[in-house]
Structure 1
Amino acid sequence: MINDDPYASVTPAPALEVRSDDLRHGAEMPLIFRDPQIGGANTSPHLTWSGFPVETKSFAVNCYDPDAPTGVGFMHWAVANIPAEVTSLPTGAGALGGSLPAGSLTLPNDLRMRQYIGPNPPPGSGRHRYVFIVHAVDVPQLDIDADLTPVVLGFNLHFHTLARGSLTVWADAVD
């Protein structure tokens, strides 16, 4: 089995549980959460998490496609500095101007957009995994410039992750 967690080999961490009212781990991603070019709505799914350490001071959430034909995957969404008392995000929270908690920081995704963007695997690239990852963080805020990339978030998470969990769904390329 392939490990969907791109951070596991460089930053091992205890597990926390990630669930969704909108997605089922290992299932196909519903169309509403995909790219509008293929009939979706770029709607971020509901996510909730539990089982994190009491020392948690904040959370970070991202959505990553490890199967993108880039050599490094593709980041669809990256949010940091979610307050520790917030343990879920509602459906649509990742929209531009969405309902993320006060103080949250949305970094530009790999299309340089500060929002969730739904999957649309390129033709001929086959089936892709979309991994929603939640990180329990040991500081209330990661000091990251808002114009930097999810790679910088990942680098900072290397030093501050207490626990991590994920939920993976699938989507096929539309040929």
Structure 2
Amino acid sequence: MTNDPYWKLPATTAFTLMSPDFVDGGDLPFWAHGAATRGKDQSPALEWSGAPEATESFVLTVFDPDAPSGSGFWHWTLIDIPGRDVSLARGAGTNDSLLPVTASRRRNEYGSDVFLGAAPPAGHGPHRYFYTLSALDVPVLEVAPEVTPAIVGLRLRQHIIGRAHLIGIAETSTDGTAVFRGGQS
């Protein structure tokens, strides 16, 4: 069975999440890879449409279920994106001036709150990076700044009214550089 990180979550209204920087199921751009693979740790631009009308806020997570940790790897968590918003700018994962005023970051696996680019272990094969945008029925998700992404997931569960996914692929060669199956971005 392919590791599907959402198989136990309740069904909800689907809407559309896309990026001008990569296609669903395609390679992540070079600059969206981690510094460990000579990338830039820059978050891609994201756009969405079709969220439920009752949406008051969004939560964005970026997760690699293929990490050889037994529990995956969280790259970014962003909460309290206003329900009226329909996009995030490229680089918002590390540049506060590009975030909506009410949005705030939460921890990644390294304990910082910035976007960590894709950096699968060298020679481990392709990894999937799930960009998931959850539409919530509350304007603010009440979670402390130091909570883990798993706690954010537990807290948002009771408020989810819609969910959108976009999957990017990344791989690291045995020499430690990013691998691109298609054209390099």
* TM-score, normalised relative to structure 1: 0.94
- Name structure 1 gaps, 5 residues minimum: none
CA contact (8 A) 2:13 2:52 kept: no
Separation in 2 of the partners of 1:165 and 1:46? 15
Separation in 2 of the partners of 1:22 and 1:2? 26
What is the correspondence of 1:130-141 to structure 2 with a 5 Å cutoff?
Answer: 130-141=129-140
Question: Deviation string for 1:36-75 (max 9, x for gaps)?
Answer: 2222111100001111111100001011001000111100
Q: What's the Cα RMSD here?
A: 1.5
Deviation at 1:146, TM superposition (A): 0.6
Runs in 1 of length 4+ with deviation above 3 angstroms?
1-4
Separation in 2 of the partners of 1:28 and 1:82? 26
* TM-score, normalised relative to structure 2: 0.89
| Structure 1 counterpart of 2:165 | 166
CA contact (8 A) 2:37 2:172 kept: no
Separation in 1 of the partners of 2:138 and 2:76? 21
Separation in 1 of the partners of 2:41 and 2:172? 16
- Name structure 2 gaps, 5 residues minimum: 175-185
Deviation at 1:158, TM superposition (A): 1.1
2:117 is matched by which residue type in structure 1?
G
CA contact (8 A) 2:34 2:40 kept: yes
| Structure 1 counterpart of 2:72 | 73
Q: How many residues align?
A: 174
